[in-house]
Structure formats: C-alpha cells, structure tokens
Chains A and B, each alone.
Chain A
Amino acid sequence: MSAADRSLPVAKTRRQVPRAGLLLGGLVLLGAVAVLSIGIGAHSVPPAEVVRALFDYQGTDDHVIVWDVRAPRALLAVAVGAALAVAGALIQILGRNPLAEPGVLGVTAGAGFAITIGSALGLAGGQAGQLVFAIIGSVAAALLVMAVGRQSPLRLVLTGMVLTAVLGGIALGLRMMLPDAFDTYRFWSVGTLAGREQEPLALPLAAIGVSLLGALLLSRPLNALELGESVAQTLGAGVARTRTATVILITVLSGAATAVAGPILFVGLIVPHLVRRPAAGSVPWLTLYSMVLGPVLLLVADIGSRVLLPTGEVPVAIVTAFLGGPMLIWAVRQYGAGTR
C-alpha cells in the first residue's frame, strides 16, 4: 500500500467493493463484446458454427473465418484499445492535462513521417514494411521528445506538439511531391483493424502486454505524483524515475498501437474521462478501468465499422471519431457537474 493510499483508509474501504464490482462487470462486458465481434462479419457464420469453431476446429471455411480472420482481429482490438486507453490515462496524469492524448508526444506524427519516407524509398509498400517503419518512426519521435522535454511535463507536451507540426509539415510536402508516397500514406492514415491477420503482430502485441503490466506496477507511484511533485517526494516516490518510466510506457503503448492499426484518435482521450469518476482519484483503478473499457470501446466501434454501411466496411478510426465526439461532450458535462 502506498503512502497516498494510506492517507485515505476510510474512503478506500467504502469504495473498494463497487470498484471491484465495476471491474468485474467491465470484464464480463468485454467478454460479451469480444464474442459478438467474432460472430459478426461480411460472411454469415451461424452462432452454433462459431461456437463449434472455437471448441472443435475442423478447418472448414467458416472455422477458418472465425479463427484466422475474426479472432486475430478481436485480439488486436483488445490490445490496441487497452494500449491507447492506458497511454491516454498516463499522459493525462503525467501532463496534468485532461485534453492530452497519446499523440501529443509526437508518436503518431513520427510513424506517419517514417511511413512517408519508407514509401518514398519504395520500402513501405506492404503491410510488414509499414509496420516496421511505423515502429521506427514512433520510437525515434518519442526518444527525441524525451531528450528535449524531459525536464518537465509541460516542456514534454510542448516538444511533442512542435515535433508533430514539423514532421507533419515535412511529410505533407514529401507526399505532395511523391504521388506513390501519398498513395501509401492515405491507406495507412485512417486507422483500421481489418486485413491485419497476416501481419507479424507477435512482437508489438507482446510489447503492449508487457507495457500494460508495467503501467499497473507504475500506477501506485503515479498516485503519489498526482498529489504534486513536492508531496510525492515527501511520500518517498521517485519523481524523476516515475516520470521517465511513464513516458517510456506511453511511447511503447501508443507507438505499438499506431504501428499495428494506424492512427486511431479519441480512444486515448475519451476512455480516461469515462472512467475517471468511478476510479475516484485512484490511479491504479483508473489504469485498470481504462484497460478494460478501451478494448470494449474499440470492439464496439469495430463491430460498427462492419455493419454500419451496406456498401462495406469503414475504417474503425472513423467510427471512433463519431462515437468519441458525443461521448467526450457527455464526459465533459459530467465532469463540470461534478465540480459544481
């Protein structure tokens, strides 16, 4: 138990039951949405056949669709949703800015810039090539931002914004001059979970898994940091170490998510807002809730992306944008009501 948690023993005891109940409910919801995601698609697979595919795989076309197309996609949605939501929660805590989202560290711009360069060199035409360039770009951008802005959260965010603008401008210029680079970028630039089942996803998914675990371990020191640097130092939390570790986690989570799915906005912004009230100021609970609600939101958006239009799928990033706008307004109104 951290010093910060020890300071509120009564409140903690009273809130733990509903918090745990909410988490359990969230996990049940996540399971239900994941099953629904595996059951819905362009080709109609009867529910009984979906169940049979899961427990008695025979290699028929329906079973292949469930196991080799839809299940990897659902798994990807869970990983990307959790990564973006937790990265969003961490950057909002670290930057003390409720409007911060993972992209402010320049990760998305770095990935887009690297893919533009890769396309211009003729090396990022395929999905695997794009994945590699996106990872390189994300990591390089984040390292640069950390190197320049590590002294303070504000400087970090400002550096990220400046780098985003610079990389975005250069990449835009290159794309205007190089139609092939533009062609590659325009397909990547709208985040999607479709067509990823053949990509080498093991490494990015493993990185997301480890980072989520790291975020949980880091959530207690962050709890202390939320009280302010001087208080955190008084409570024995290593401020510099915690901040550096948090930036690394944000980089890996958002970089890996962007690399495998492309830019998906709003998840990292909206989910922490939605779970802030039930978390009641506890960073560990905020992290856990984000880890569950992020995948739920992305899975629901992904299901919507398959069924909303009769003409075919729309990229999931478009659906999250449509969902995210109203949800953000709702969350902000709730937030305002709570502070009055």
Chain B
Amino acid sequence: MFARRSMGLFAALPLVLALGACGSSSGSGATETSDKKSETRVFAADNGNVTIPARPQRVVATGYAVPALLQARAPLVGISSWQRGEPMMSDENLATYKKLTKVAGEAATETNYEAIAEAEPDLIILGVPTPVLGDIDVKRLESIAPVVAVGPTVPGQWRDVSRKHADAAGVLANYDTVKAEYEAKAAELKKKYQGVLPQLKLGHVGSYGDTSKGTFQREFGGSWGTSIAQDVGATYYGKVKKPGPGSQSVSEYPSIEELPDSLGEADAITYSVNADGSVPPSVRYVMESKLWKNLPAVKKGMTFPITYTEAATYGDAPKTLDAIDKSFARLLS
C-alpha cells in the first residue's frame, strides 16, 4: 500500500513564521544546540540524526508530511502532490494546497529536484516509508538543504509520524491543538457507542484487493481501515496468517474462496468506500459474491461502510470519525 502512493501537499506562511519565532524546538528524539545567528538542532529521523534549523522558515514537504504540515500551518514553500487527501481537506487547506508549488508527483520517482532547489528551502521533509527512499536521490536533496525522512512502517503509525513531521517543521504547538480536537471527538464517540461496540467482533474489508487475482483485502487492528474505528472502541478480531513487513503485518490478501474462513466469525463487518460514498471495484467484487451474502454478519445486515479510511493525520481523522458515527448510528436504534 505504501509503495503505491507516496507524496502530497501544503501552505500558510505568515502564522507559521510567527509561531516559528516563539516555538519550542524540543521534541521527541531531538536535541538542541544554540547559535545566535542560526540555531540548529539534531533531529532523529529514518535517515539518521540530521542537523536541521531550530526554526525552519522555508520547508519543502512530500508524501505523508504534506497533509500533516498543511494542517499544522508549517512554513511550506513546496510540496508534492497528495491527491488522495484532497477530499478530506478543509476549504482553507485545499486552497493553500492548490496554491503551493508542486515539487513532486504522487510517486517518489516523480521528484523534481530542480523545482525543489528553486524553492530555496531550509528544510526538506520526506514523508515516505523507508523502502521508498530508494527511489529518491537523497544526496542530491542534501546538497540543497537538510533532509529529514520520516515515514510510517505500519499504517497505524501515522499518529507518531505526523507528530515528527510537525516537530521537525517547528509547528508542534499547532499539531497538538489539532490532535487534542481529534482525541476529544473520539472520546465522545467512544462514550456514545460504549454500550454496543465493545461487544462486537468486527472485520474490515479494505479497498486494496486485487480483483485480477481474485483476492480481497482483509484489514486487522492497526490498519488504515480500522485504527480510527478502534479509537472509538471497535474491536477488530483476528490477525494476519503470515505477517510481513509494513502494512502486511496488519492486512492480508486472501482469495475470494477464503472469504467465509476470514470473516465467518465476524458479528459485524466494516468496509472502505470512496469519499463520495461509492463502493470501490475491489470491494464491490467482494460484495457481489454469493460467499459474501452467505456470511452471518451480512445476513443480519451488520455491514457498515466507512469513508475516509485513508486519513493519515489528526486533521483528516475527524472526518473519518464523522463517517464512522454516521455508519454506526443504527447500532443505537
């Protein structure tokens, strides 16, 4: 999943500059050294300990760092494309996203090094998983500005990853505000559904199944489709049969023949749908199978579509919470 897409977007300068002037540079894994002319600190990233400006003024962001830093109002001067996040952006963030210079496409291989150099950044934040770093000429980027690479290794890790992005960009205070709003909302919903959700064994069908192989995506706890619902109190049962690295530790791709084995014990099934509510082809393939219609949860009508399961920041995740609330509402009736 990580390899399929890896880039994104951003903006909002004035506030960030102001925040940068008074912001704290301490953060997880970071140490600070002083220099009156240009303060720097050492930041622990996926690509090692990197000396970065304590208060960056011109940040280039790619991949998962794009939505995180847009929402945290970092001083962005260039971003990668992040199309999958567009439906979740607020009007303000979407306008900023569209206005900002695009220095990379959706894939890491589409990085435009000259455009990055022209943006004259003092910090480059690559929000891509470590394996994808191989597609980027990091040394060339390092000749332009300090490079911090921070990407998720498992889907549910977006929480820590987006925090590190904000920390590196010197906008941790903004990040914490957005995070607090999300957590308050999640706690409210957890309370609302505490009488029904904890008793259910849930399964999730993700949208990355490959119909050309006759497979579907089963997501377990800690995956894109499940981790936000877990914050509301949902319990996704089971685990990957043969765990692999990254997202393969929390999701698998069984044959459609294995649908009864995979989801036969579920009391309820959630499934990913597009932002407009339409069912993706890979999920439709599952739902049109007679094996799906034979599942106990399906026969009881206990299936719940969830939009915005690709949320990867605390700024996006409230939309997912709203979608979960809307879908689960009938559990309370």
Contact = CB atoms under 8 A, between A and B. Distances in A.
A187 B285 CA distance: 15
Contacts of B214: 69, 194-197, 313
Contact of A65 (B253, B288, B291): B291
B36 interface: no
Interface in A181-201: 183, 187-188, 190, 192, 194-198
Given A43-B255, A61-B260, A179-B106, A188 B212 contact: yes
Interface string A189-217: 01010111110000000000000000000
Interface string A46-89: 00000000000001110011001110000000000000000000
A85 B214 CA distance: 25
A10 interface: no
Given A43-B261, A187-B210, A195 B288 contact: no
Interface in B164-218: 210-215
B285 A198 contact: yes
B253 A69 contact: no
A59 B299 CA distance: 14
A194 B212 CA distance: 6
B294 A313 contact: no
A64 B294 contact: yes
A227 to B, nearest CB: 44
B37 interface: no
Nearest to B294: A61
Contacts of B106: 179
Contacts of B242: 311
A312 interface: yes
A190 B290 CA distance: 27
B24 interface: no
B92 interface: no
Contacts of B260: 43, 61
Interface residues of B, number: 27
A42 interface: yes
Contacts of B213: 192, 194-195, 312-313, 315
Interface in B242-287: 242, 253-258, 260-261, 281, 284-285
A125 interface: yes
A43 B259 CA distance: 9
Given A187-B210, A198-B289, A65 B257 contact: yes
Contacts of B289: 68-69, 198
Contacts of A194: 212-215, 255
A272 B72 CA distance: 66
A68 B214 CA distance: 12
A126 interface: yes
Interface in A144-168: none
A64 B291 contact: yes
A41 interface: yes
A242 interface: no
| Most chain B Cβ neighbours within 10 Å, of A65, A190, A313 | A65
B155 interface: no
B105 interface: yes
A126 B107 CA distance: 23
A145 B68 CA distance: 53
B215 A198 contact: no
Contacts of B284: 126
| Most chain A Cβ neighbours within 10 Å, of B210, B213, B281 | B213
A198 to B, nearest CB: 6
Contacts of A179: 105-107
Contacts of A68: 289-291
Nearest to B262: A43
| Most chain B Cβ neighbours within 10 Å, of A41, A61, A188, A195 | A195
Contacts of A313: 213-215, 255
Given A41-B255, A41-B257, A61-B294, A198 B212 contact: no
Interface string B90-107: 000000000000000111
Contacts of B254: 42
B290 A312 contact: no
Interface in B69-109: 105-107
Contacts of A59: 290, 294
Contacts of A198: 285, 288-289
Contacts of B211: 127, 195
Interface in A17-44: 41-43
Interface string B281-310: 100110011110010000000000000000
Nearest to B244: A311
Given A127-B281, A179-B105, A69 B212 contact: no
A312 B258 CA distance: 12
A262 B212 CA distance: 10
A195 B253 CA distance: 13
A191 to B, nearest CB: 9
Interface in B224-253: 242, 253
A107 B194 CA distance: 59
Q: Which 4 A-B pairs have the closest CB atoms?
A: A195-B214, A194-B214, A42-B255, A43-B257
8 contacts: A42-B257, A190-B212, A194-B215, A195-B214, A195-B215, A195-B256, A312-B255, A313-B215
Interface of A: 41-43, 59-61, 64-65, 68-70, 125-127, 179, 183, 187-188, 190, 192, 194-198, 262, 311-313, 315
Given A61-B291, A65-B291, A68-B289, 7 more contacts: A68-B291, A126-B284, A179-B107, A187-B212, A195-B211, A312-B213, A312-B255
